[in-house]
Amino acid sequence: MKKVLVVVDMQNDFIDGALGTKEAQAIVGNVIEKIKSYPPEAVYATMDTHFADYLSTQEGRRLPVEHCISGSDGWLIRKEVYELLDHGTICIKNAFGSLALPEALKKNEDLEEVELVGLCTDICVVSNALIIKAALPEVKVSVDASCCAGVTPAKHLAALETMRSCQVEITGEEPLKLSVICDSVSGNTKQAGEWIAEGMRRAGAEAKCFKIGEIDADFVKQSCGVVLGSPVYSALMTADMRSWLQTGARELGLAGKLGGAFATAQYTHGGTELVIQSLLETELVYGMLVYSAGNSEGHPVIHIGPVGINGNRESFNGMENYKEYFGLYGERFARKAYGLFR
Ligand SMILES: Cc1cc2nc3c(=O)[nH]c(=O)nc-3n(C[C@H](O)[C@H](O)[C@H](O)COP(=O)(O)O)c2cc1C
């Protein structure tokens, strides 16, 4: 066979058992469709397998959650997946990677490509992809990202990046998700946030702008970058924004995400930079990677974040004058996110 599929650890414990995740449950349908696209004899599978001594093993001491204990329900491959497999090609393994798997694959003398799918991207998928790459250096190795899930969405992305560095071809990747979250009473800041999101989309990301109180928490959690915005009230962010940062924001898993900030105000000298600085400081407290292009992107220089001024009696009055800056900031932010996370 020229092309084969390896289905890694699609076992109940990794889907909705001891180590299950929402993301793992979400890929089951994709994995089933993928298996159906191959002849049954071209599909290999692995099964993580532990025993009663698991907690005293090296792995168990570092991950003290009993899982895939031989013979348990959690150890079984998800029924709908198992029914599609040729049972002679299942490799049992008690480590992340299987050394038996490349040996089985080598029996295909005309093998040109191995595609991997399954769980978890950042542990067993990456381990097996790299073992196959080492054992069969002239065989193309690919991973379909839409059929894999990581321990966390961020670790999934990081593992894809590592595999790409090792010349594993990554397919089926969704665009990066980016979120803009702001307070807005009379609509200026929301408008600015929408312009930022438009700029992010121009750079290839899937981007959404939310007002606090109307947030799609799942989308934000899956986002690798979040830009926060607030109107300026008495040279501060609004009380509602501050309050949300100390409550709702804590539930969104912001650590490790790229963070940016913007503000709108009535006056050029009304306090926008104080608000941006304060938002960026809060992002640091949450462990975010704080973004500023500074002056590195040339003109227009947006420094620490874009501002929109709506009530000046001077020039540059009116939010529309700032549309281009917000959009450009969104594009720059998204390009930086792609550089870091892809
Ligand atoms: C209570 C209050 C305080 C404000 N304080 C300031 C201020 O200190 N400096 C400033 O330039 N604009 C100030 N503004 C104007 C708003 O920041 C500005 O109109 C902003 O764009 C409103 O955003 P929104 O339309 O998203 O609610 C204030 C507005 C209100 C209602």
Domain of residue 48, CATH code: 3.40.50.850
The count of C-alpha atoms lying within 13 angstroms of the C-alpha of 106, restricted to the half-sphere facing its C-beta, is 12
Give the pLDDT confidence of 241-255 residue by residue, as tens digits: 999 999 999 999 999
Contact 108, 65 (CB under 8 A): no
Closest C-alpha to ligand 1, atom 4: 233
Q: Please check the confidence at residue 319 and state whether its pLDDT lies above 90.
A: no
**DSSP character at residue 87:** G
Residue at a domain's end among 128, 147, 171: 171
Give yes or no: residues 167 and 255 share one domain.
no
Give yes or no: residues 136 and 284 share one domain.
no
* pLDDT-derived band at 26, boundaries 50, 70, 90: very high
Give the pLDDT confidence of 72-129 residue by residue, as tens digits: 999 999 999 999 998 778 999 999 999 999 999 999 999 999 999 999 999 999 999 9
Give yes or no: residues 66 and 129 share one domain.
yes
Q: Phi and psi of 211, rounded to 5°?
A: -85, 145
Whole-number percent of the chain with pLDDT over 90: 90
The total number of structural domains in the chain stands at 2
pLDDT of residue 138: 97
Closest C-alpha to ligand 1, atom 18: 265
- Across the chain, mean pLDDT equals 95
Q: How many CB atoms lie within 10 A of CB 156?
A: 21
Give yes or no: residues 182 and 126 share one domain.
no
Distance (Å, whole) CA 277 – CA 237: 10
Write down the residue that tokens 């084969």 correspond to. 4
- Mean pLDDT of all residues in 53-82: 97
pLDDT of residue 87: 74
Distance (Å, whole) CA 76 – CA 297: 53
Atom number in ligand 1 closest to CA 271: 9
Give yes or no: residues 121 and 229 share one domain.
no
pLDDT of residue 315: 57
Q: Please check the confidence at residue 264 and state whether its pLDDT lies above 90.
A: yes
- Mean pLDDT of all residues in 154-159: 87
CA of 232 to the centre of ligand 1 (A): 5
CA of 285 to the centre of ligand 1 (A): 25
pLDDT of residue 321: 86
Q: Phi and psi of 43, rounded to 5°?
A: -110, 120
Closest C-alpha to ligand 1, atom 8: 234
Give the pLDDT confidence of 210-263 residue by residue, as tens digits: 999 999 999 999 999 999 999 999 999 999 999 999 999 999 999 999 999 999
And the tokens for 305? Answer: 């974040």
pLDDT of residue 57: 97
Q: Please check the confidence at residue 317 and state whether its pLDDT lies above 80.
A: no
* pLDDT-derived band at 313, boundaries 50, 70, 90: low
For residue 172, give the H/E element and its range.
Answer: none
Contact 9, 76 (CB under 8 A): no
Give yes or no: residues 147 and 193 share one domain.
no
Q: Please check the confidence at residue 45 and state whether its pLDDT lies above 80.
A: yes
CATH number at residue 188: 3.40.50.360
Give yes or no: residues 163 and 183 share one domain.
no
Atom number in ligand 1 closest to CA 184: 26
pLDDT of residue 39: 95
Give yes or no: residues 82 and 130 share one domain.
yes
pLDDT of residue 89: 87
The residue among 198, 233, 187 whose CA lies nearest residue 326 is 198
Contact 148, 170 (CB under 8 A): no
Contact 336, 291 (CB under 8 A): yes
CA of 111 to the centre of ligand 1 (A): 65
Give yes or no: residues 221 and 124 share one domain.
no
Residue at a domain's end among 171, 193, 225: 171
Parallel, antiparallel, or unpaired: how do β-strands 236-237 and 225-233 relate? antiparallel
Domain residues for the domain of 61 are 3-171
pLDDT of residue 314: 56
* pLDDT-derived band at 342, boundaries 50, 70, 90: confident
Please state whether the predicted TM-score (pTM) of the whole model is above 0.75. Answer: no
Strand positions, DSSP E, 241-301: 258-265, 289-290
Give yes or no: residues 249 and 212 share one domain.
yes
Give the pLDDT confidence of 269-281 residue by residue, as tens digits: 999 999 999 999 9
Give yes or no: residues 181 and 102 share one domain.
no
Residue from 184, 211, 266, 276 to probe ligand 1 pocket by mutation (most atoms less than 8 Å from CB): 266
Q: Please check the confidence at residue 44 and state whether its pLDDT lies above 80.
A: yes
Residue from 182, 196, 233 to probe ligand 1 pocket by mutation (most atoms less than 8 Å from CB): 233
Distance (Å, whole) CA 232 – CA 278: 11
Give yes or no: residues 267 and 233 share one domain.
yes
Residue at a domain's end among 138, 171, 204: 171
Closest C-alpha to ligand 1, atom 29: 233
pLDDT of residue 316: 58
pLDDT of residue 180: 98
